[in-house]
Structure formats: structure tokens, C-alpha cells
Structure 1
Amino acid sequence: MARGSATLWPAVHTERAALAADLAGLDDKQWAHPTLCGDWVVEEVVAHLTAGASITMARWLVSIVGARFDADVHNQRRLAEHRGATPAETLERFRQVVTSTTAPTRDTAAWLGEVVVHGEDIRRPLGLSHTPPVATVTEVARFFAGRDFTVNSRTLVKGLRLEATDGPFAAGTGPMVSGTTLALTMAMAGRAVYCEELTGPGVPTLRERCA
């Protein structure tokens, strides 16, 4: 059974705090390191997370209209707004929103997904290890499998059967794709590298869609 916002927000806060703790040990070179999130480096992804935790629906509407409904332009403008003059300042701004419950919509599972996915986007290229609780990632996996929102996750796995090997998550029908809940979630977010951690006859299809 899916959890409500009241129980999901603490999970969001826990994952933000864990990421902030990992970021505290980075040097300037690591802050400028590429991530799994397109062309963004670590500092840009962190600023993006701060922006997402700082914008209400009203402000989001003003921003997206001002960007002529171009999500990339909107994201770049908000990222620039919340990026500090130095990595240390960017980190401090992120720390200030760790316990925020501000979001542009009430889809709390999506905002939990933001910090889980972007946390992995940052950590994996840097060789940092963090595994969120299975219960936390299961909520994100269920949301991703059921709806295209910030990522086209439902479209990516259409016609495939997903089954977690470490928890209760399962969704869809078709050729099987199995693996950890985190690997399935990251693949649904379009991170093709996580397909290497998955098994089953549906993996080639999923890998091709991610690419």
C-alpha cells in the first residue's frame, strides 16, 4: 500500500540529509565532476535540488510561463538562482532546505524520487556508496511505474514486467526485468547504466529505450 505525504516527507528529509553529509566531504574538483544527469555537474544537480525544495505551485507557474513552457529553460533559471558563488555556499543553501516541505505539486513520491535519483546521479560517478531503505525506494518505484511525471518512466517500462529482488515492488506485464528496487528505479528514470544490474529477457528492450 502506498504511503501518504505525512510519512513520505520524513523520507525525503532523511535522503536530503544523507546527501548533504556526503557532499560535505567533496573537494572543488569533485563538485565540478560530471553526473548521470545529462550535462550537469555535481554542483548544478545540488542547486537543482535546492530549487525544487524552494518553489511553490504559484512560483512554478510564473516561472514555467516565463520560460514559455520550456522545462529546460525553467530548470536552468531556477538552478542559477539557487547556485551559490562557491560550492560551499551551494551546499549551505541545500542544507537550508533539507527539512522543507515546499514543492510545486502534492506528488510527494515524485519529490522523494528527485532526491533518490539525483543522489545516485551524483554518488555513482564519484564512487560514493549509499543505499536508501527499500521501503523508501519502493514508493518511488511505484510512482514511476504508474505515471510519467518528471521522467517518462511509465513509458519506458510499458509492456515489461518489473520485479524487485529485494522488496515487494512489482509492476506491469510482459518480458521480465528483475533487480534491486534501486536499480529498477534508476532504470525507469532513464539511467541506462543501471540496466547492467538487471536481469531477464526484457532488459535489452529497457536498455534500448533508456539509450
Structure 2
Amino acid sequence: MTLSATQHWTLIHAERARLAALLDTLTAPQWRSGSLCSIWTVEQVTAHLTAAAHTGRWGWLRSMVLAGFDSDTHNARRLAEQLGSTPEETRRRFHEAVDLTIAPTPDHPAWLGEVIVHGQDIARPLGMALEPDPMAVLEVARYFVSKDFAVNSRTAVRGLHLEADDASFSSGEGPSVRGPLLSLVMAMAGRPGALDELAGEGVAELRGRIT
């Protein structure tokens, strides 16, 4: 079933709210902790998500042009705009962005994936549970195997057979990569740690592609 834009936004808002609830529980040291995005702290990932929620088509294009089409420079500048003077301010700004419906392109599953993946980037190093809606994870998985956008997910799994052991999802032909659907999504997003949760003769090949 193909979801409508409204249905996608409902899922995006729900995942942002889920992450916001987790952020409400963090201590000052946890805000300063490293995330799975090795160059960013938990607070910086949060600011990045807030910036993404405020970036529409023309704002994105203008920012990319000014950054010389360097996505790292673009992301760093937008993150800095939303990084508060304190973690509390950063947290508040993210809360205020939860229900926004702004995006630079109509690739709604990609923006859903950004919230889910970055939510795990925050939660996993802290040893905290953050369980996204299974329907949302399935939507992201289907998108990631079909298109390279923001992350080179389709390229990463080309020639491999992916199969979830906790959801009705399989894709591709070739050496097998099996495991929890969220772990497959995280691996497709280039998070090597997720590979430890996967099995199959294709895991070694996938590891070589994303590390």
C-alpha cells in the first residue's frame, strides 16, 4: 500500500514526538555524550533534526548553493542555527518543531527515515530504548532499498538479499542478510554497529561497503 503525504506526516510527527519524550529524560552529561554520528553529540543531532524540520525547498537550495553543494557544510550551518545556548533551549526548539510539515522534497519516507535513524543515533549509545512504529520502519526499509537519497542505501545493498525476521519484508537477490527490520534499516543508513545484530553470508560484504 502506498501511503499518502498526510499519512507520512502523521508517522513523522509521531516519531518526532517519541524522540522528544526521550529527550525530556536526559541529564546534562547525556546531552554532551557522543552519538552514532561520530562527529556530533546528542545535542548536536537534536539540533540537526530541528534544522531539518525547518528547511523547505528554497531554503535548502539556497543553503546548498552557499555551501558550494557540500552537504557537510550545509548541515553544519543549519545545525548551528538551531543549537541552543543550553541543552534545555535545544530541547525546547525540537519540541516546537515536532508538528511542522516542512521538507525540501516530497521524499517523505526519507524524512521519516531521518527521524528514525537519528533517533537511534541518540538512544543506542546512551543504552536507552527507543522503539519506532513498525509501520514507519517498514516504510523506510522499502524506500531505502529503492533509492539512494541522503544515504546511499540502495547502492549499499545491491546484489544482496535482505530479509527481516520480525516483519514481512524481503528484498533483492544474492547473499543473505537477515535480522530485525530496524537493524537492517540502520545498516542501510551506514551504521556498522547494526551489523552485529544481523546474520547471513551477505553480512561481510555489507560490512565492507559501509565501513
TM-score strictly above 0.5: yes
Q: What secondary structure, in the 3-state scheme, does the structure 1 residue paired with 2:97 have?
A: coil
d(CA) in 1 for partners of 2:134, 2:17: 17
d(CA) in 2 for partners of 1:170, 1:13: 27
Q: Superposition RMSD on alpha carbons, in Å?
A: 0.8
Cα deviation, residue 55, structure 1: 0.9
**Residue segments in structure 1 that go unaligned for 5+ positions in a row:** none
d(CA) in 2 for partners of 1:19, 1:133: 12
Q: What secondary structure, in the 3-state scheme, does the structure 2 residue paired with 1:72 have?
A: helix
Q: Does 1:159 align with 2:159?
A: yes
Cα deviation, residue 85, structure 1: 0.6
Contact 1:134 1:166 in 2 (8 A): no
- Percent same amino acid at aligned positions? 53
d(CA) in 2 for partners of 1:83, 1:181: 32
d(CA) in 2 for partners of 1:101, 1:190: 26
Contact 2:110 2:140 in 1 (8 A): yes
Residue aligning to 2:183: 183
d(CA) in 2 for partners of 1:151, 1:83: 23
Q: What secondary structure, in the 3-state scheme, does the structure 2 residue paired with 1:177 have?
A: strand
TM-score (norm 1): 0.98
Q: Does 1:109 align with 2:109?
A: yes
Contact 1:54 1:97 in 2 (8 A): yes
Q: Does 1:30 align with 2:30?
A: yes
Q: Does 1:148 align with 2:156?
A: no
Cα deviation, residue 183, structure 1: 0.4
Residues 2, 163 of structure 1: alpha-carbon distance in 2 compared, 3 angstrom cutoff: farther
Contact 1:2 1:139 in 2 (8 A): no
d(CA) in 2 for partners of 1:142, 1:4: 15
Q: Does 1:125 align with 2:125?
A: yes
Q: Does 1:48 align with 2:48?
A: yes
Cα deviation, residue 133, structure 1: 2.0
Cα deviation, residue 3, structure 1: 1.7
d(CA) in 2 for partners of 1:199, 1:3: 30
Deviation track 1:102-157 (CA, whole Å, cap 9, x = no partner) reads 01111110000000000000000001102112211000001111111010111110
Kindly tell me the number of residue pairs found equivalent between the two proteins: 211
Residue aligning to 2:5: 5
TM-score (norm 2): 0.98
Contact 2:15 2:133 in 1 (8 A): no
**Residue segments in structure 2 that go unaligned for 5+ positions in a row:** none
Contact 1:162 1:171 in 2 (8 A): yes
d(CA) in 1 for partners of 2:89, 2:103: 22
d(CA) in 1 for partners of 2:79, 2:143: 25
Deviation track 1:171-196 (CA, whole Å, cap 9, x = no partner) reads 11110111111000000000010001
Cα deviation, residue 166, structure 1: 1.1
Q: Does 1:16 align with 2:36?
A: no
Contact 1:163 1:171 in 2 (8 A): yes
